[in-house]
Amino acid sequence: MTARATPGTGTHSGGARPAAPLRVVILGAGFGGLEAARALARAPVEVTLLDRHNHHLFQPLLYQVATAALSPGDIAWPIRAIFRRQRNVRVLMAEATGIDRVAKVVHAAGGLALPYDVLVLATGATHSYFGHDEWAAVAPGLKTIEDATAIRRRLLLAFERAEVNTDSAERRRLLTFVVVGAGPTGVELAGAMVELARATIAGEFRGIDPRMARVVLIEAGPRVLPTFPEDLSAIALRSLERMGVQVLTGTRVTRCDAGGVQCGEERIAASTMVWAAGVVASPSGGWIEAKRDRAGRVRVEPDLSVPGQPEVFAVGDVASVTDPAGRPVPGNAPAAKQMGRYVGKAIAARALGRPAPPPFAYRHHGDLATIGRRSAVVALDGMRLTGLIGWWFWGVAHVWYLIGFRSRVVVSFEWLWSYLTFQRGARLITGDGTDAAGARAAADVEPVPANNAAPSRGQGWG
């Protein structure tokens, strides 16, 4: 068997065989993995892109699927279709189960074994419940289409159950919704829930008034949108409260069950809880025995390679990266895309025998969060946008990042229709119309203490 030649050293003279293409395995087809594969389009490499799903998901708009504003197909695209014309990419739908770093082989479900010369970890992150993983069943996070449709089902079923329930206390519980974590995902979810209840479905029920729904946003830190400038956090808080969201800052959840949440001495009886309070990196860093931070992210070199393993790179939520000033690079889509694009270029240079690019340097393009209809906060370099102008900027930016002309047109039309009519076109309760957590709730509900009767004032891997 002929040994694999070193990339970039092959020659056609003297009868010598050209160098074999570099085998590149990319785990995860999120923003980072997708950009890495795209950047290798013209490189002499063989790319295998592995993901446990067959689609790439635009996660920043996932909350709109959860609140019935968009359908899953509006923000997800088949991975094979994306790479249809890139002949050096092979797409495999399977879940990675481990990595043999000595033999340089990725193992996946079904006995699949993928040898590699270069490995890219783009396996993303999942929800962190800070040691209380049992809360996941009753307070799902928002990372996948399955998460979004499950939350949508619970949300819509709560109104349907309240319509046929005659007990006033149970109705109040059914119409109480809790979002834990006031980062961009939590803020956007809370605002969208209020709009659904007070605009979209108001007037459609006869036994209840959906406008009486209570949406509670809980944040352990001192302010909402903690990564944003303080002035924009204050604006976001005022907008949320003006919409009718009850915001509790400096408040930690100490218990979460099917009947609601406990925050210190206060019990909030609720039918629907959503977790947006934290994330933890996928376990792929442990498979290669890399050093990781407290969130499980792989500590990387300036070129995003793993220390002591130059053939392995980590990008996106699975990588712990700092900018030139020593600040952590945020775990958002633009950062993942920049990392993926950089690593793709670095691998291409290696395959061609060219000098490596300079160290990775993250460029922060700004922070954006929408609070509801006609309201958003945007922080750009030296510029702040709020209110309607910020909302339009947020919409244009998100449409721009969508993949494909069709998705941009469909999402733009859906938003325009919703803006003009207050309607949402994806209000489907899919499945068998049941919800295990909701069905158990009545048995788990605890009496609400009298002193708590009144309301307080007060974010797939391969």
Which residue would you say has higher pLDDT here, 384 or 449? 384
pLDDT for 440 beyond 60: no
Residue 144 CA: distances (Å) to CA of 21, 180, 242, 345, 401:
34, 18, 30, 29, 18
pLDDT for 433 beyond 70: no
- pLDDT given at position 289: 92
Q: How many CB atoms lie within 10 A of CB 308?
A: 11
Q: Which CATH superfamily, name and number, covers 21-52+94-127+279-351?
A: FAD/NAD(P)-binding domain (3.50.50.60)
In this predicted model, what pLDDT tens digit does every residue of 220-264 receive, in sequence order? 999 999 989 999 999 999 999 999 999 999 999 999 999 999 998
Q: What is the mean pLDDT of residues 79-88?
A: 95
Q: What is the mean pLDDT of residues 395-410?
A: 74
Main-chain dihedrals φ then ψ at residue 118, nearest 5 degrees: -135, 135
d(CA 137, CA 128): 13
- pLDDT given at position 194: 95
Long-range interactions of 378-384: CB distance < 8 A, separation 24+:
379/228, 379/229, 379/232, 384/229, 384/231, 384/232
Closest CA to 37 of 343, 383, 378: 343
d(CA 65, CA 426): 8
Q: What is the mean pLDDT of residues 56-73?
A: 90
What is the share, in percent, of the chain residues with pLDDT greater than 70?
85
- pLDDT given at position 1: 36
Chain mean pLDDT for the chain? 86
Closest CA to 249 of 183, 331, 323: 183
Q: What is the mean pLDDT of residues 310-329?
A: 91
SS3 322: strand
SS3 125: strand
21-52+94-127+279-351 and 133-277+366-452 in the same fold:
yes
Main-chain dihedrals φ then ψ at residue 380, nearest 5 degrees: -115, 175
Among 3.50.50.100, 1.10.20.10, 3.40.50.261, 3.50.50.60, name the CATH number for the domain at 133-277+366-452. Answer: 3.50.50.100
In this predicted model, what pLDDT tens digit does every residue of 142-173 receive, in sequence order? 999 999 999 999 999 999 999 999 999 999 99
- pLDDT given at position 392: 82
Confidence of residue 403 (pLDDT cuts 50, 70, 90): confident
Question: Out of 41-50, 172-181, 379-388, which region has the weakest mean confidence (pLDDT)?
Answer: 379-388
Terminal-to-terminal C-alpha distance of the chain: 31
What is the share, in percent, of the chain residues with pLDDT greater than 90?
66
Confidence of residue 432 (pLDDT cuts 50, 70, 90): low
In this prediction the pTM is: 0.85
Are 311 and 119 contacting, i.e. CB atoms less than 8 angstroms apart?
Answer: yes
Q: What is the mean pLDDT of residues 332-343?
A: 95
- pLDDT given at position 365: 81
pLDDT for 34 beyond 60: yes
pLDDT for 418 beyond 70: no
Domain boundaries, given as residue ranges, for the chain: 21-52+94-127+279-351, 133-277+366-452
Q: How many CB atoms lie within 10 A of CB 113?
A: 10
Confidence of residue 385 (pLDDT cuts 50, 70, 90): confident
pLDDT for 5 beyond 80: no
- pLDDT given at position 274: 97
Q: What is the mean pLDDT of residues 75-88?
A: 94
| Helix H or strand E segment including 105 | strand 105-108
- pLDDT given at position 160: 96
Confidence of residue 435 (pLDDT cuts 50, 70, 90): low
Q: What is the mean pLDDT of residues 271-281?
A: 93
Confidence of residue 445 (pLDDT cuts 50, 70, 90): very low
pLDDT for 438 beyond 50: no
Q: Which two tokens stand for residue 57?
A: 């998901």
Which residues are catalytic, by number?
Answer: 188
Q: How many CB atoms lie within 10 A of CB 123?
A: 31
d(CA 178, CA 245): 10
d(CA 33, CA 441): 40
